[in-house]
Structure 1
Amino acid sequence: MRTDSETSRGTTTLVLLRHGETALTPEKRLSGSGGSDPALSETGRRQAEAVGRTLAAHGTVRAVVSSPLRRARQTAETAARRLGLEVHVDDGLREADFGTWEGLTFAEVRERHPHEMAAWLASPAAVPGGTGERFTAVARRAARSRDRLLARYEGQTVLVVSHVVVLRTLIRLALGAPPASLFRMELSAASLSAVAYHGDGTATVRKLNDTSHLADLR
């Protein structure tokens, strides 16, 4: 049942931007919060500029919030300059920690740790790389960050710059999809997705893995 206060609230839109490429991205290597924190590559910097131009042309973003990791902050700062906004950092948006799997490809992990990989793919409660972060823990902190943003920027459009696991998690939660759906979403480097959160507590995924703004870079 909707209350009067719920129906009077506006829609808050989170525009979800995966950071631009790093040297590890083209090789599809696991790059979480427990690794080397790589910077954007030259391609990644050009991608961030392209995102900034596109968002500035739309003129709807009113705030920029980023993961604390370098590749996300660099992407956010580049876009924010185009938007004339400051970057706010939220630690809950950092990437998952993949433990000893950091820097490896999926194929390398499957070859070296087949049973651990199978368990990780099967259960969000499994620990990656022996010391990494469970997807259940990522979901909790991503949801807390989402709730902070919705309270702080009610009725506005916010650019959220983060990483593939966190952004997939936010989309999964909006859809009410099972954890296994995390492995069934493609979120390319510097891609844009969007989730609208309505005053009645519902959420709508309005965009997924849009890379049209990168067409001139290909």
Structure 2
Amino acid sequence: MTSAPDGRATGPAAPTPPTTLLLLRHGETALTPHRRFSGSGGTDPELSGTGLAQAARAAASTLLAEAPVHAVISSPLRRCRQTAQAAAERLGLDVEIEDNLREADFGHWEGLTLDEIRTRHPADLRAWQSSATAAPTGATESLAEVAARTATARDALLARHPGRRLLLVSHVTPIKTLIAGALTAPAEATHAMHLSPASLSVLVHTGPRAAMHLYNDTSHLR
């Protein structure tokens, strides 16, 4: 209930409108087609020609055009900044950088394929795939730690932009952990998710609750 200045009850407070997070994975780099691990501690590759085209198509997607987007927030890594810039220019917005949306640190796995990691670091790979507290060989953070910092970014954005529609441009691991959190699934569930380059997913937050409205949509790339 809310109260008038004289103390009379005036009825229930109006509910806060939902906050929508549009989660866009960056477009392809030279490493993407070969499925090579590319984290925050690697070479920070730029988008390939294919990736630039994907970014342009994502920026022109119906999902971004159907309702106002109030802010574009990006990981600091180059591939995300390039993807975000394509959308921001079309939307007439600036790109805001959020460090906690960066990709995981993959340590000695940077630039390797899963088969190469399985051959060189089999025990560490098994541990990482089975426990969110295990880190890749030589890495500085576990999956649980990535999930925690990504949740910190999400909570700050929800507090700063209540009732708004936000485009977050990030990477496989941060986006998957945000989705797992919305579904109240453990961080390890991210290993069972596939996320395509330049795909869009949507989470709608109403108060403390979140609902997944879309996952891994690539219709704008066809």
Partner of 1:89: 97
Structure 2 residue matching 1:14: 3-state secondary structure: strand
Letter in 1 for 2:20: T
Q: Structure 1: where are the runs of 5+ without partners?
A: none
Q: Structure 2: where are the runs of 5+ without partners?
A: 1-11
Q: 2:108 matched to 1:100?
A: yes
Partner of 2:3: none
Q: 2:53 matched to 1:40?
A: no
Partner of 1:157: 165
Give 1:63's match in structure 2, choosing from 71, 77, 89. 71
Q: 2:21 matched to 1:19?
A: no
How far apart, CA to CA, are the structure 2 residues paired with 1:193 and 1:56? 11
From the two aligned structures, give the one with the greater helix fraction: 1
Give 1:187's match in structure 2, choosing from 172, 195, 198. 195
**Which entry has the higher C-alpha Rg, 1 or 2?**
2
Cα offsets for 1:146-184 (capped at 9, x unmatched): 011101111011000000000000000000012221011
How far apart, CA to CA, are the structure 2 residues paired with 1:139 and 1:180? 10
Residues 32 and 98 in structure 1, CA contact (< 8 A), matched pair in contact too: yes
How far apart, CA to CA, are the structure 1 residues paired with 2:204 and 2:46? 30
Partner of 2:38: 31
Q: 2:220 matched to 1:213?
A: yes
Partner of 1:174: 182
User: Taking structure 1 as the reference length, what is the TM-score of the superposition?
Assistant: 0.93
Partner of 2:9: none
Letter in 1 for 2:72: V
Identity of aligned residues (%): 54
Partner of 1:203: 210
User: Closer, same or farther in 2 for the Cα pair 1:56/1:210, shift >3 Å?
Assistant: closer
Divergent runs of 4+, >6 A? none
Give 1:114's match in structure 2, choosing from 118, 122, 138. 122
Give 1:143's match in structure 2, choosing from 133, 136, 151. 151
How far apart, CA to CA, are the structure 1 residues paired with 2:182 and 2:174? 12
Residues 99 and 133 in structure 1, CA contact (< 8 A), matched pair in contact too: no
Displacement of 1:58 in angstroms is 2.0
User: Taking structure 2 as the reference length, what is the TM-score of the superposition?
Assistant: 0.92
